[in-house]
Amino acid sequence: MSLYQEHLERTMKAVHMEKVDKIPMSWNGPAYLPKRMGLTMAEAVTDFPRSVTAAVDFCKEHPGVDSLHSPCMTPYTLPMLWLAEVKAPGVDIPEDELWQVHEKEKMSVEDYEVIVEEGYAGWMDAYMKERIGDPLNKPEAQAWFAYAATGFQRMRDEAGIPVLNCAYGATPIENFCGARGMENFFMDLYEEPELVKDAMDAAWPVLLNSYLAGLESKPVGAWVGGWRAAPQLLSHDMWMEYVWPYLQEMVLKTIDAGVTPVLHFDSCWDSELEMLRELPARKCVLMLDGSTDARKAREVLDERMCILGDVPSSILAFGTADETYDYVTRLIDDVGPKTGLMISSGCDCPLNAKDENVDAMIQATLDYQV
């Protein structure tokens, strides 16, 4: 069995809730990793071959890593999900600072009407070009699109590491929230609920088809994001109307395509864990950032879903190696001592994580006796 097959099999056994020989570790830190390997943030988001080389070297130096979320990234593709302006290191901000997303009001209430009447695709194209700096046509974004598949293949060939997130999608609430600004958007839900829903319905086929196109190459997994869609921010009724139908369809179509959905759910999802039981059993990965109670998630979801996470960024950045190691060990004890758990940072590993803490997080998965 090749190293790649070994890593992939271990990862997929965890997804399918079959007993594993080691608790899988999935690396998610598109800023920390290149920084640790000597790249500036500006280099990391523009020199993709070097970024992938850094990821390959990092994985070789850390044999506890079983999969990786993405070997290289550019902030200029984030507006596809967020519809917000980005600031890139070396261009808009100093070259060694983390990229930024500016969620500010760039879309008006009237835009919902335009979307409903004229369609989402044309509106979004104009919005991107005219209001947020045409990020997708930046040379850096085009270069990333051209290189991403090569990067995934290099991870497989050179490091034996499967890339878990080869496609990216999110429900319409993320797009509109990013374009309107959070408070404006949530007030829209109250003041113009039907209009917002109509605009979401108009946008949805475009968003979904764009996402599904990324699954045609049959990647291992796909990133299904939820941050403003977190039930922490919405009542159950609103969540059921404005989030769940889209989320459910996206997940089901991902599974239909033979791809594992990685539900990258930021903030607290405790109140809707029960709804996740509606999703097909042992087909999805639920990635948590430390805000959702992973133990409660395991209890509610039982053996229906693999959990990924959730070492908090605060521990990685400010804690000690022992604290990190103990956190991981306790998490495995409680959430998946035999299977159904993959360890990673909660959300992205922070840029200022301590190296010794990162190493302890990975080492704990190697030391744990399954």
Partner 1 sequence: MSEKPDVLILSGFLGSGKTTLLLRLVEHLRAKYGPDYRVAIIENEIGSASIDSGVIAEAGYSVTEMLSGCVCCTLIGQLVPAIQKLAEELAPQLIILEATGMATPESMRGNIEKYGGCPVRVAALVDASRWTKVLRALRTLLEAQVEPADVVCVNKCDLVDEGQLAEVERTVREMNAEAPIVYASALSPMAAADLDAIAGE
* DSSP letter assigned to residue 218: -
Q: For residues 88 and 67, is the Cβ–Cβ distance under 8 A?
A: no
316 binds partner 1 (CB under 8 A): yes
313 scored as a contact of partner 1 (CB under 8 A):
yes
Cβ closest to partner 1, residue 186 vs residue 368? 186
**In whole angstroms, how close is the CB of 308 to partner 1 at the nearest point?**
13
Distance CA 276, CA 274 (A): 5
59, 98, 331, 341: which one contacts partner 1 (CB under 8 A)?
98
Binding span for partner 1 by CB under 8 A among 62-70, 147-155, 188-196, 204-212: 188-196
Closer residue to partner 1 (CB): 203 or 316: 316
Of 9-17, 47-55, 184-192, 294-302, which segment contacts partner 1 by CB under 8 A? 184-192
| Rounded CA separation 238/84 (Å) | 23
**Taking a C-beta distance cutoff of 8 angstroms, is the pair 78, 85 a contact?**
no
What is the 8-class DSSP label of residue 352? T
Which of 234, 231, 298 has its CA nearest to residue 266? 231
- Binders of partner 1 in range 336-365 (CB under 8 A): 345-348, 350-353
Neighbours of 304 (CB within 10 A): 19
Stretch that binds partner 1, among 207-215, 231-239, 277-285, 332-340 (CB under 8 A): 231-239
> Of 318, 321, 326, 359, which lies in the binding site for partner 1, with binding defined by CB under 8 A?
318
CA distance 320 to 324: 6
CB-wise, 13 or 102, nearer to partner 1?
A: 102
Q: How far is the CB of 50 from partner 1 (least distance, A)?
A: 20
By the rule CB under 8 A, 149 interacts with partner 1: no
Q: Which residues, 6 or more positions from 283, have their beta carbon under 8 angstroms from its beta carbon?
A: 15, 255, 260, 261
Q: How far is the CB of 227 from partner 1 (least distance, A)?
A: 5
- Is residue 189 a contact residue for partner 1 (CB under 8 A)? yes
138 within 8 A of 76, measured Cβ to Cβ: yes
For residue 108, the one-letter residue type is S
Pick 47 or 85: Cβ nearer partner 1: 85
257-276 positions binding partner 1, by CB under 8 A:
266-267
- Contact call for residue 139 and partner 1 (CB under 8 A): no
Mention every residue, 6+ apart, whose C-beta is less than 8 A from residue 255. 261, 280, 283, 284
Q: Shortest distance, CB of residue 347 to partner 1, whole angstroms? A: 3
Number of C-beta neighbours around residue 294 at 10 A: 22
Q: How far apart are CA 367 and CA 77, in angstroms?
A: 37
C-alpha 256/C-alpha 354 separation (Å) is: 40
The conformation of residue 349, written as its DSSP 8-state character, comes to P
**197 binding partner 1? (CB under 8 A):** no
Q: Which residue of 13, 16, 22, 104 would you call a contact of partner 1, by CB under 8 A?
A: 104
User: Which residues sit at the interface with partner 1, rule CB under 8 A?
Assistant: 31, 75, 78, 87, 98-105, 181-184, 186-187, 189-191, 227-228, 231-235, 266-267, 289, 291, 312-314, 316-319, 345-348, 350-353
